[in-house]
Amino acid sequence: MQNEILLVQRAKSGDLPAFEQLVTLHSRRTYSAAYRILNNQAWAEDCTQEVFLKVFNKIKDFDGKSKFSTWLYSVTVFTALDLQRKQSKLQQREGGEFEDIHACDSQSPQQQLQQDKLNQVTQRALGQLSEELRVAFLLRHHEGCSIKEISEILDVNGNTIKNRIFRAISQLKNLLKSKVSDYETVD
């Protein structure tokens, strides 16, 4: 943590190797957060690059009131949401579909097919949530962020974040209840 603070200070003063170390430290989690929102490998890679370009250009504006990782998450979330809006408009014109999350290669073909089906159902359900509910849910349950961190990332009151997560879970339960029972009867 102390090392990160030093790296941020050095990067703010124009030290490129320090910034490169920050990228190395945070690129995996940044990509993961972008992928959870975008559900597409290529878009998540593009988003990650765009995030670090934005951070490079704006690092001098980082005031240190929050952790660097929280600020980085905020940039990631809003960049991913912007990219998602752009890609959704493109897909609507082209009739494209979201890419599926692939199961682990160590599974049997039948297990992988079942996992792929379940992933599709889950991704469709997540896609039916409003943007604010989906992002709060993903940051909490897929990225492991605390309520306080999510509040800082989204610049929203902590109680509002709790409410969004609760509503997301309730809606997902309702959406998945019928879908999972349909899925179980198909197999």
Whether residues 94 and 110 share a domain: the answer is: no
Whether residues 112 and 178 share a domain: the answer is: yes
CA 155, 160, 164, 166 torsion: positive or negative? positive
Domain that holds residue 137: 103-187
Whether residues 129 and 72 share a domain: the answer is: no
Tell me the average pLDDT across 103-127: 71
CATH code of the domain containing 163: 1.10.10.10
Whether residues 4 and 94 share a domain: the answer is: yes
Whether residues 122 and 56 share a domain: the answer is: no
Tell me the average pLDDT across 121-145: 84
Task: Output the pTM of the full model.
Answer: 0.64
Helix (H) or strand (E) holding 157: none
Whether residues 153 and 65 share a domain: the answer is: no
Whether residues 92 and 110 share a domain: the answer is: no
CATH code of the domain containing 79: 1.10.1740.10
Asked whether residue 36 carries a pLDDT value surpassing 70, the answer given is yes
Whether residues 51 and 123 share a domain: the answer is: no
- Joined together, the tokens standing for residue 16 give 């490129």
Closest CA to 139 of 80, 55, 98: 80
Task: Give the model's pLDDT for residue 179.
Answer: 66
Tell me the pLDDT tens digit for each residue of 44-76. 999 999 999 999 999 998 988 888 988 998 899
Tell me the pLDDT tens digit for each residue of 72-109. 988 999 899 888 877 766 555 554 444 444 444 556 77
State how far the alpha carbon of 46 is from the alpha carbons of 17, 25, 66, 95, in Å: 22, 18, 26, 21
pLDDT above 90: percentage of residues in the chain: 33
Whether residues 89 and 8 share a domain: the answer is: yes
Determine the Cα–Cα distance for residues 107 and 133; give it in Å rounded to an integer.
Answer: 32
Domains in the chain: how many in total?
2
- Which of these three, 80, 99, 118, is where a domain ends? 99
Tell me the average pLDDT across 159-171: 91
Taking all residues of the chain, what is their mean pLDDT, rounded to a whole number?
Answer: 82
Whether residues 53 and 87 share a domain: the answer is: yes
Can you say whether residue 75 is alpha, beta or left, with left for phi > 0 and alpha for psi between -120 and 50 degrees?
Answer: alpha
Which ranges of the chain does DSSP label H, i.e. alpha helix?
2-12, 16-38, 41-58, 68-94, 109-128, 131-141, 147-154, 158-186
Whether residues 71 and 161 share a domain: the answer is: no
- Which of these three, 48, 83, 99, is where a domain ends? 99
Task: Give the model's pLDDT for residue 113.
Answer: 76
Whether residues 60 and 44 share a domain: the answer is: yes
- Which of these three, 78, 99, 120, is where a domain ends? 99
Residue 169's Cβ-count burial label (10 Å; 0-12, 13-18, 19+) is: middle
Q: How many CB atoms neighbour CB 108 within 10 A?
A: 8
Task: Give the model's pLDDT for residue 38.
Answer: 86
Q: Are 127 and 101 in contact (CB under 8 A)?
A: no
Residue with tokens 């993961």: 32
How long a stretch of residues is the chain?
A: 187
